[in-house]
């Protein structure tokens, strides 16, 4: 029993976020259905329940964004469909087909232009068809659908705020920590490409994994903007941190392009110890940064990485002083200077990263 209980606790902790989301969706759906029983409406408030479930997202900001888009799309589709239904008689099947075509075509075009109108064609179809099924006027059908959607959206928003709330700030910390961990492993992997062959697929896989994690972080930051509208967004503003991560991803792209072919053998012998030193220190310090960020602790010291870059800069200066760069081909010289530039940019962005982590730690301590 002790082992079983311990295993169950581990499973619950590992899936804590998923379980909280499950609880919020369930409560929102049940609450919306219960509230709709106070009115005598067709389908017993089906649309309110569906809306409460559909717009519920993993964070408060994402739920607000989904609710806003869903309500606006529903409003536009309902108004447009009810206007068509009142202006154009559609008591026969051919007439209904024509009205549906007129309703769906322009709304589908708008949905292709903006995700805010994705639900508009769906709403227009329901307004026109359900009005005939329940002997409602198109206007009454539109008002009913819109009211249910608004109620369902309000329920979902309130539940996301008060029931196991998940702020975009916390999700952003986790996403940023994942990006830093991927960077910590990606930089030394790419640096090995300067002394041993790497395929373009291997380089692309490293860059893509980091890029996807940075995009995930920026998505969470966008959701935080919606939380700020209702005053539940946490401090500090994560935009500077987001820009730093994006620049570090660009550094990875620069290094990846230069690492497509190994350096000439003589340069490998001179620079390999420095590249290994840089890879080792950047891996350790970026992993430490990710841990500090996730724990909302002050950033680690980056003196090791600074020393590694300084040592490489000294070795690079020795190459120039000994006139070992002049005999290189144009492509080899460009590769070497790209390596130097990419590492220097990484140093600058690493400093910005340390400051950003410090700002988040200070805000969490208040």
Q: What is the pLDDT of residues 238-288, one digit of tens each?
A: 778 888 988 999 999 999 999 989 999 888 989 999 999 999 999 999 999
Residue 218: CB partners within 8 Å, gap ≥ 6?
242, 246
CA 38/CA 42 separation, integer angstroms: 13
- Assign 360 a pLDDT band (cuts: 50, 70, 90): confident
- Assign 123 a pLDDT band (cuts: 50, 70, 90): confident
Would you state the pLDDT for residue 43? 67
Backbone angles phi, psi at 86, to 5 degrees: -80, -30
CB contact at 8 A, 31 and 159: yes
- Assign 366 a pLDDT band (cuts: 50, 70, 90): low
> Would you state the torsion angle of the CA atoms of residues 104, 106, 107, 113, taken in this order, to the nearest 10 degrees?
140
Per-residue pLDDT tens digits for 159-199: 887 877 666 566 677 788 889 999 999 999 999 999 998 88
Residue 306: CB partners within 8 Å, gap ≥ 6?
347
Would you state the pLDDT for residue 234? 56
CB contact at 8 A, 142 and 84: no
Would you state the pLDDT for residue 21? 81
Token digits for 325? 């760069």
The whole model's pTM is what? 0.68
- Assign 12 a pLDDT band (cuts: 50, 70, 90): low
239-258 and 168-192 helices, crossing angle to 10°:
20
- Assign 356 a pLDDT band (cuts: 50, 70, 90): confident
How wide is the angle at C-alpha 221 spanned by C-alphas 173 and 289, nearest 5°?
A: 30
Per-residue pLDDT tens digits for 213-229: 888 787 777 666 655 55
Token digits for 208? 């893509």
CB contact at 8 A, 125 and 104: yes
CB contact at 8 A, 128 and 100: yes
Token pair 């001179």: residue: 270
- Assign 142 a pLDDT band (cuts: 50, 70, 90): confident
- Assign 52 a pLDDT band (cuts: 50, 70, 90): confident
Q: What is the DSSP letter of 326?
A: T
Per-residue pLDDT tens digits for 188-210: 999 999 999 888 899 999 989 98
**Domain at 168-365: CATH code:** 1.20.58
Backbone angles phi, psi at 92, to 5 degrees: -105, 165
Percentage of the chain lying above the pLDDT 90 cut: 24
- Assign 134 a pLDDT band (cuts: 50, 70, 90): low
CB contact at 8 A, 298 and 361: yes
Stretch(es) of the chain classified as CATH 1.20.58: 168-365
Alpha helices in 230-264 (DSSP H): 239-258
Compute CA distances 70 → 75, 158, 209, whole Å: 8, 16, 31
Compute CA distances 40 → 85, 137, 141, 155, whole Å: 23, 16, 14, 19
Would you state the pLDDT for residue 194? 92
């Amino acid at each position: 029993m002790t082992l079983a209980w311990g295993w169950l606790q581990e499973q619950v902790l590992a899936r804590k976020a998923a379980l909280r989301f499950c609880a919020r969706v369930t409560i929102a759906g049940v609450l919306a259905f219960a509230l709709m029983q106070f009115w005598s409406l067709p389908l017993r408030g089906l649309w309110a329940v569906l809306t409460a479930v559909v717009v519920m997202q993993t964070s408060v900001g994402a739920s607000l964004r989904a609710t806003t888009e869903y309500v606006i799309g529903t409003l536009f589709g309902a108004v447009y469909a009810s206007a068509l239904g009142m202006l154009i008689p559609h008591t026969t099947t051919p007439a209904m087909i024509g009205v549906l075509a007129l309703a769906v075509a322009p709304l589908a075009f708008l949905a292709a232009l903006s995700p805010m109108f994705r639900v508009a064609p769906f709403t227009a179809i329901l307004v026109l068809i359900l009005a005939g099924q329940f002997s409602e006027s198109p206007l009454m059908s539109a008002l009913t659908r819109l009211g249910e959607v608004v109620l369902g959206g309000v329920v979902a928003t309130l539940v996301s705020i008060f029931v196991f709330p998940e702020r975009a700030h916390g999700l952003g910390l986790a996403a940023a920590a994942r990006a830093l961990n991927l960077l910590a492993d990606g930089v030394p992997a790419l640096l090995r490409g300067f002394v041993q062959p790497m395929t373009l697929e291997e380089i692309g896989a490293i860059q893509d994994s980091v890029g996807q994690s940075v995009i995930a972080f920026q998505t969470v930051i966008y959701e935080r903007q919606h939380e700020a509208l209702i005053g539940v967004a946490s401090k500090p503003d994560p935009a500077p941190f987001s820009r730093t991560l994006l620049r570090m991803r660009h550094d990875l792209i620069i290094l990846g392009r230069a690492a497509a072919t190994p350096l000439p053998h003589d340069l490998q012998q001179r620079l390999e110890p420095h590249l290994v030193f840089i890879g080792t220190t950047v891996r350790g310090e970026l992993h430490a940064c990710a841990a500090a960020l996730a724990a909302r602790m002050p950033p680690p010291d980056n003196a090791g990485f600074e020393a590694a870059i300084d040592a490489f800069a000294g070795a690079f200066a020795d190459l120039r002083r000994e006139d070992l760069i002049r005999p290189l081909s144009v492509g080899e010289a460009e590769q070497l200077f790209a390596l130097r530039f990419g590492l220097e940019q990484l140093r600058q962005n690493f400093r910005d990263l340390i400051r950003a982590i410090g700002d988040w730690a200070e805000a969490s301590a208040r």
